[in-house]
Amino acid sequence: MTKSRRKWHAETKACANIALAKYWGKADIPLNLPAVPSISMTLDGLVTETRIRVDETLDADRVELDGREATASESKRVIALLDDIRRRAKRREFAHVVSRNRFPTAAGLASSASGFAALASAADHAYELGASDRVLSAIARQASASAARSIYGGFVELPAGKPGQKSLAAKPLFDADHWDLRIVVAQTAKGPKKVGSTEGMERSRETSPFYDAWVAKAPAITKRIRQALRKRDLDTLGAAMEQSTMAFHACAMTAEPSIFYWQPATLAAVHAVRQLRDEKGLSVWCTMDAGPHVKTLCHADDARKVRAALKKTEGVLSTLVAKPGPGVQTR
Ligand code: ADP
């Protein structure tokens, strides 16, 4: 039977996510399994749009990213995911992938999370695999652990993996409407980060004297965050998120050579957030990923004040506000 060509394409939107309980370190590099559990909030404002068309006439995959031909290393990661989907779907045809991040790529705003979540879902549709969200999450995780979480909306947990573990998927904890929180992002630098996450994690594992302590402590911090989310207790959640953030950055900073993701404006924004807490009594908390930007967590009602304070912080280039967002959407 000839398959209907109409189905061999798909368009997907996926949102990036911000880790409240941070992911830093791998338990198994080839299988891309995290050494620590993480919890994230999917962000409605930071979107990747991916189109895929399976094309029998192509003799190789074609990948476009942000309006240009993808580099060899970018294409390699995309093709590895497509190969996985093709293997599972027992299909051979190549595909044309066109993806656009509606926010800066590779700059510490989690483009790999939304990028690979979108790709997994789009490829699943285009190759007519029909995988469950759980399977898609496990497929996306192999490309980027944080992408496993972006399959789902709201608040999502990715457990730690064990070396050699066959499959590991994220699981949704609470829907987007569970809690009306906001993340205010303060962009503090332009351009891609100098040390990619994978390299930074490996260097931390191999050389930081704090790595083992971080891995040992992370499950307890994650548990506090999960419980605080359930109870909608922002003071407890925020304090635990800051501890998770500082612990992983301490680990990176004490690697050899040191990995330092912060800029002067990063620290300025952290202090601005503390000032809002100490002097204005706002429940506002900050976190930074493997990059210089500061993401602050607060109640929806406080987002305007937080944004105004960050806007006038020296070195902050731009700000944006995101609320809990949906999981992948494909058509
Ligand atoms: P970020 O903080 O943006 O996630 P990373 O260095 O962790 O930065 O990941 C960026 C990499 O993820 C890119 O270099 C590219 O290989 C991949 N990536 C980003 N966006 C997409 C996308 N839309 N589709 C496919 N791959 C993507």
What pLDDT band is residue 4 in, cutting at 50, 70 and 90?
very low
pLDDT tier at 147, thresholds 50, 70, 90:
very high
* Confidence class for position 154, pLDDT limits 50, 70, 90: very high
- For 298, the enclosing helix (H) or strand (E) is strand 294-299
Residue ranges matching CATH 3.30.230.10 in the chain: 7-176
Pocket mutation for ligand 1, best pick of 112, 188, 199 (most atoms within 8 Å of C-beta): 112
E strands, 218-282, where? none
Q: Which of 12, 15, 111, 261 to mutate to test the pocket of ligand 1 (most atoms within 8 A of CB)?
A: 111
Measured CA to CA, the distance from residue 97 to residue 38 in angstroms comes to 29
The protein residue with its alpha carbon nearest to ligand 1, atom 24, reads 115
Instruction: Please state, in angstroms and rounded to a whole number, the distance separating the CA atoms of residues 148 and 23.
Output: 12
- Average pLDDT value for residue range 295-309: 98
Two tokens at 121? 């879902």
Q: What token pair was written down for 30? A: 């080839």
Closest approach atom of ligand 1 to CA 193: 6
Q: Which long-range contacts (CB under 8 A, 24 or more apart) does 213-217 make?
A: 213/247, 214/24, 214/25, 214/36, 214/247, 214/248, 214/250, 214/251, 215/25, 215/35, 215/36, 217/247
Q: Which residues of 98-137 are buried (b: 16+ CB within 10 A; e: fewer)?
A: bbbbebbbbbbbbbbbbbbbbbbbbbbbbbebebebbbbb
**Hey, whose CA ends up nearest to atom 13 of ligand 1?**
106
Report the amino acid identity of residue 306: V
The phi-psi region of residue 307 (left if phi > 0; otherwise alpha if psi is between -120 and 50; otherwise beta) is: alpha
Closest CA to 237 of 271, 189, 286, 303: 286
- What pLDDT band is residue 298 in, cutting at 50, 70 and 90? very high
Q: Are 123 and 56 in contact (CB under 8 A)?
A: no
Instruction: Specify the pLDDT at position 168.
Output: 98
pLDDT at 262 (0 to 100): 95
pLDDT of residue 255: 98
The pTM is what?
0.95
Give the three-state DSSP class for 72.
Answer: helix
According to CATH, where is 3.30.70.890 located in the chain? 178-322
Distance CA 267, CA 315 (A): 10
pLDDT in tens, 269-279: 999 999 999 99
Determine the topology of domain 178-322 in CATH.
Alpha-Beta Plaits (3.30.70)
Quick check: 3 pLDDT over 60? no
Percentage, residues of the chain above pLDDT 70: 97
| Atom number, ligand 1, closest to the C-alpha of residue 146 | 4
How far are the Cα atoms of 44, 46, 172, 183, 188 from residue 329, in angstroms, in the given order? 12, 14, 16, 22, 30
Task: Report whether pLDDT(6) > 80.
Answer: no
Say what the pLDDT of residue 1 is. Answer: 37
CATH topology of domain 7-176: Ribosomal Protein S5; domain 2 (3.30.230)
Per-residue confidence (pLDDT) for residue 5, from 0 to 100: 47
Residues in contact with ligand 1 (CB, 6 Å cut-off)? 48, 65, 74, 77-78, 99, 101, 105-112, 115, 119, 196-197, 291
pLDDT score of 105 more than 80: no
Q: Which helix (H) or strand (E) holds 14?
A: strand 9-21
Cα distances (angstroms) measured from residue 104 to each of 111, 238, 279: 7, 26, 33
- Ligand 1 atom closest to the Cα of residue 66 is 23
| Mean model confidence pLDDT for the chain | 95
